Amino acid sequence: MALIFYSPINPADLWEAELKKHIPDLDFRRLEAPGDPAEIDMALCWKPPPGALAAFPNLKVIFSLAAGPDHLLSDPELPDVPIVRMVEPSLTGGVAEYIVLHVMRHHKAQRRFEEQQKARLWKEYFAPPAGTRRVGIMGLGAIGGEAARMLKAVGFDVAGWSRTPKQVAGVTSFHGADQLVDILARTDILVCILPKTPQTEGILNADLFAKLPQGASIVNAGRGDQLVERDLLDALESGQLSEATLDVFRTEPLPEVHPFWGHPRITVTPHSAGDPFADSGARVVAENILRFRRGEALPHLLDREAGY
Ligand code: NAP
């Protein structure tokens, strides 16, 4: 039996070589040249073309190249087989580092200094100690939990919000729709690292921004559909929000004419917070392939009912 690979961004040659370091007899095939479709029982992919995976009648498991499964769930013909989310150190750590970087930029007013430099303006400003800055993380899973630990280690006053109760040492935990208002009320810098589900669609909206202290800022590394773009522009205009860092967008690549590109208080990054590196990611995928071959339980399975 064989594994089919597809990704518009992850190099197939590299992933094949890394996987074969762990499983030399792996039959690795590319979606572009799959051979006999009946021989494919595993898929490893990011954003496969809709309908592509339905062509494999004996597919038994899908390994996602991404933490979020929405790139698969958007396929109306997606086979009803177990989906293993990508949870591995280079991705988790990479996105957590991104979150720490941009929380620090907001905290230390880096944007102010960049503007001052453009104007050759020497004007001191000293950020308050990290311990007085309240960071709120929406999504306290694999990535949000790691970001919370890192931010805590820097010294921030950190809280997190999840669907079910969570315990992260030193981090104040909120959960469920009812407690969203509580974490917002104590948050100066809000981080969103939620999966895309019907419940999180449009969650970063005017109503939510109004529940943050005036002048709060946001970092969105979750998914673009979670942000109501017009509401963000209005909240920046009114001063309810002071700045935003966005890695994910409703339309990617972000269209050249989009107002976010030139906005003085928005930082745009091209969905680059993190990605699995082939050496580290392949090690984890290989372990899961071997578990699958032995008929063992697979970790980090997508819960189709919850949507992540
Ligand atoms: P995860 O381990 O599944 O964690 C998801 C977290 O979100 C969990 O804490 C979950 O609560 C919480 N959550 C889900 N729905 C919720 C709701 N309705 N209300 C409150 N909390 C909710 O996923 P992960 O590996 O950390 O990844 C999270 C997301 O990050 C991905 O789905 C993807 O969208 C995004 N991401 C972005 C990039 C990038 O490059 N920008 C890279 C990787 C991932 P429970 O703990 O109670 O289940």
For 214, other C-beta atoms within 10 Å of its C-beta total 12
Q: Which atom of ligand 1 is nearest to the CA of 138?
A: 21
Q: Is the pTM of this model over 0.95?
A: yes
Three-class DSSP category at 197: coil
Pairwise CA distance, residues 189 & 209, whole Å = 11
Pairwise CA distance, residues 127 & 105, whole Å = 11
- What are the tens digits of pLDDT across the range 125-162? 999 999 999 999 999 999 999 999 999 999 999 999 99
Nearest alpha carbon to residue 193 among 133, 146, 130, 158: 146
Give the distance (Å) from ligand 1 centre to CA of residue 106: 22
Say yes or no: CB of residue 46 within 6 Å of ligand 1. no
The residues, ordered by sequence, that sit 6+ positions from 225 with a Cβ below 8 Å of its Cβ are 196, 201, 202, 250
Three-class DSSP category at 19: helix
Question: For residues 266 and 242, is the Cβ–Cβ distance under 8 A?
Answer: no
pLDDT tens-place values along the chain, 308 residues long: 999 999 999 999 999 999 999 999 999 999 999 999 999 999 999 999 999 999 999 999 999 999 999 999 999 999 999 999 999 999 999 999 999 999 999 999 999 999 999 999 999 999 999 999 999 999 999 999 999 999 999 999 999 999 999 999 999 999 999 999 999 999 999 999 999 999 999 999 999 999 999 999 999 999 999 999 999 999 999 999 999 999 999 999 999 999 999 999 999 999 999 999 999 999 999 999 999 999 999 999 999 999 99
Nearest alpha carbon to residue 81 among 91, 73, 70: 73
Say yes or no: CB of residue 144 within 6 Å of ligand 1. yes
- Phi-psi region at 51: left, alpha or beta (left = phi > 0; alpha = psi -120 to 50): left
Say yes or no: CB of residue 196 within 6 Å of ligand 1. yes
- What are the tens digits of pLDDT across the range 44-79? 999 999 999 999 999 999 999 999 999 999 999 999
Nearest alpha carbon to residue 42 among 64, 10, 20: 64
Question: For residues 44 and 15, is the Cβ–Cβ distance under 8 A?
Answer: yes
Which protein residue has the closest C-alpha to ligand 1 atom 7? Answer: 139
Which protein residue has the closest C-alpha to ligand 1 atom 4? Answer: 141
Q: Which atom of ligand 1 is nearest to the CA of 306?
A: 15
Say yes or no: CB of residue 67 within 6 Å of ligand 1. yes
Pairwise CA distance, residues 305 & 80, whole Å = 12
What is the separation of C-alpha 306 from the centre of its chain, rounded to a whole number of angstroms?
Answer: 17
For 157, other C-beta atoms within 10 Å of its C-beta total 19
Question: For residues 85 and 72, is the Cβ–Cβ distance under 8 A?
Answer: no
